């Protein structure tokens, strides 16, 4: 099941395939393989088949709802789904069933997409490996002994393993782009505010953004085009026109200037990653792009700033999980004991670590020294990107400094946090970025090329990724995952 979305809908149009047959095939593959991969937390079989049957009637009548009608997709379990549990990979929300759909989910349903289920994730999106779900880890379809990345690892693994035609995740510090690189798929983080966050369970409200995973760049453009656009229910949503991303793809990179940041090639970087990324840049030059070096010196401070801003916002957002209104409740003699017991039992170690770090950073006497200083660094990161984009059209860099690592290999928090060193600056500045496969390591593991653009310039980011993808063979390689 590795047919891209645009090929599926072409087959629906010709009558060679039906949405019901495709949904049944995906559900059968999930039954056969997901016990080994662990991409899903919840599969909504009957709902999916009902949606597929409705789509089939529309295709037969020649009245599909659009380019996603009848397409099987998966959703990271951080997006609220009406009547379907939304756990965030946590014991705290193990039994939570939202009464409404997130805007992204509502737009997918309105487009006729067939939702297969909810995918696994690091608890409350805090992690880079999808080992920190309270339910089970997710494994990389290229090598089941390795992680798929995180926190959207379930969504990335579902697409890589042929368990969904496309999927959605959230990216707070790289949680779409990093697992996309590890799993050899395309992962897009739009501009902050391009896609509504209404119904996304918040981790860090000034950083979170929803975006797609896809088998190729064209599919990523299709998925983004359906969910992007202003939403009055999200105060941070941008009221800007959404371009026709598909129409922009064939324009190529000839005449574009690409910036190559010195700070994204560091000591300790996997030599296979550097080799593949530099080879990808040569391909782009061969397609007519001009490449020049740029400097983003505050990059080296981005990780430290991020791990103050994110925990501070997370500690505030997660204060609502106190056992009073919804979610887990552990009884106690009084309100204070009940809340204490609930939070102790409901949150995992990494979530508790970040809550404590964030609470400390916001506390009296430390706010200016830590949180305030981190916000100053964030401003510098934004200014440096703006200065770079005054000279270049796009920035190209590695997505990650290494390939997928083995389960249990990175047990200390710092080594795990370093996986996001190249993706975090994009979140701090709110700019769009995509990871596209650009080769494989000597061990046969995928490597990702990251393309970053100006705010709201997703069209040009996707255009460059598409030009590279079409000139290389990587999109045709899939993991040999069999029952």
pLDDT tens by residue, 307-318: 999 999 999 999
- Judged by DSSP in three states, 116 sits in strand
CA distance linking residue 28 with residue 371, whole number of Å: 49
CA distance linking residue 231 with residue 233, whole number of Å: 5
Q: What is the pLDDT of residues 100-109, one digit of tens each?
A: 999 999 999 9
Residue 442 lies in a domain: no
- Residue 427 pairs in a beta bridge with none
Q: What is the pLDDT of residues 423-454, one digit of tens each?
A: 999 999 999 999 999 999 999 999 999 999 99
Q: What is the pLDDT of residues 248-265, one digit of tens each?
A: 999 999 999 999 999 999
Instruction: Verify cis geometry, omega within 30 degrees of 0, for the bond prior to 151.
Output: yes
Report whether 117 contacts 73 (CB < 8 A).
no
Cite the active site residues: 76, 151, 175
What was the pLDDT predicted at 414? 79
Residue 47 lies in a domain: yes
- Judged by DSSP in three states, 62 sits in coil
Instruction: Look at 57-61, 323-327, 367-371, 479-483 and tell me which has the smallest mean pLDDT.
Output: 479-483
Residue 244 lies in a domain: yes
CA distance linking residue 317 with residue 148, whole number of Å: 26
CB atoms within 10 A of CB 161: 29
Residue 170 lies in a domain: yes
Residue 295 lies in a domain: no
Range of the domain at 93: 5-249
Residue 162 lies in a domain: yes
Region for 125 from its dihedrals, namely left if φ exceeds 0, alpha if ψ lies in -120 to 50, beta otherwise: left
- Judged by DSSP in three states, 102 sits in coil
CATH code (residue 36):
3.90.1300.10
Percentage of the chain beyond pLDDT 90 is 95
Residue 216 lies in a domain: yes
Residue 234 has pLDDT above 80, yes or no: yes
- Does the pTM surpass 0.95? The reply is yes
Residue 483 has pLDDT above 80, yes or no: no
CA distance linking residue 147 with residue 237, whole number of Å: 33
What was the pLDDT predicted at 89? 98
What was the pLDDT predicted at 411? 80
- Judged by DSSP in three states, 98 sits in coil
Q: Which of the 8 DSSP states describes residue 143?
A: B
Residue 227 lies in a domain: yes
Count: domains in the chain: 1
């Amino acid at each position: 099941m590795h047919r891209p979305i645009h090929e599926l809908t072409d087959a629906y149009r010709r009558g060679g395939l039906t949405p019901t047959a495709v949904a049944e095939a995906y559900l059968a593959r999930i039954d056969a393989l997901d016990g080994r991969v662990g991409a899903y937390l919840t599969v909504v079989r009957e709902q999916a088949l009902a949606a597929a049957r409705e789509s089939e009637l529309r295709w037969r009548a020649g009245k599909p709802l659009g380019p996603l009608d009848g397409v099987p997709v998966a959703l990271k379990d951080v997006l609220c789904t009406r009547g379907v549990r939304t756990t965030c990979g946590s014991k705290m929300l193990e039994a939570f069933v939202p009464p409404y759909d997130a805007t992204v989910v509502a737009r997918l349903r309105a487009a006729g997409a067939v939702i297969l289920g909810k995918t696994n994730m690091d608890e409350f999106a805090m992690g880079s490996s999808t080992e920190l779900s309270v339910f089970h880890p997710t494994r990389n379809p290229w090598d089941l002994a390795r992680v798929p990345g995180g926190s959207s690892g379930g969504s990335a693994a579902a697409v890589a393993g042929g368990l969904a035609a496309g999927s959605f995740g959230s990216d707070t510090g790289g949680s779409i782009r990093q697992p996309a690189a590890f799993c050899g798929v395309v992962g897009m983080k739009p501009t902050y505010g391009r896609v509504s966050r209404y119904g996304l369970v918040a981790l860090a409200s000034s950083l979170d953004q929803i975006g797609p995973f896809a088998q190729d760049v064209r599919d990523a453009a299709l998925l983004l085009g359906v969910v992007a656009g202003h939403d009055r229910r999200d105060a941070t949503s941008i009221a800007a026109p959404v371009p026709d991303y598909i129409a922009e793809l064939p324009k190529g990179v000839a005449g574009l200037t690409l910036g190559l940041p010195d700070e994204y090639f560091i000591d300790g970087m996997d030599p296979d990653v550097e080799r593949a990324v530099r080879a990808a840049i040569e391909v782009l030059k061969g397609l007519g792009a001009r490449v020049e070096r740029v400097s983003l010196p505050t990059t080296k401070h981005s990780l430290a700033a991020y791990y103050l801003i994110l925990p501070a916002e997370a500690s505030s957002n997660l204060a609502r999980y106190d056992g009073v209104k919804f979610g887990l409740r552990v009884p106690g003699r009084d309100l204070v004991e009940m809340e204490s017991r609930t939070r102790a039992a409901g949150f995992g170690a990494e979530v508790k670590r970040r809550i404590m770090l964030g609470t400390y950073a916001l506390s009296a006497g430390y706010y200016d020294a830590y949180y305030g200083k981190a916000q100053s660094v964030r401003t510098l990161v934004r200014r440096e990107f703006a200065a770079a984009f005054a000279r270049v059209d796009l920035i190209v860099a590695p997505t990650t400094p290494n390939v997928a690592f083995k389960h249990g290999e990175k047990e200390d928090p710092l080594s795990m946090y370093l996986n996001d060193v190249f993706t975090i600056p994009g979140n701090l500045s709110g700019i769009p970025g995509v990871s596209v496969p650009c080769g494989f390591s000597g061990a046969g593991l995928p490597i990702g090329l990251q393309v970053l653009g100006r705010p709201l310039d997703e069209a040009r980011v996707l255009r460059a990724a598409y030009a590279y993808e079409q000139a290389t063979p990587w999109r045709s390689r899939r993991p040999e995952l069999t029952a």
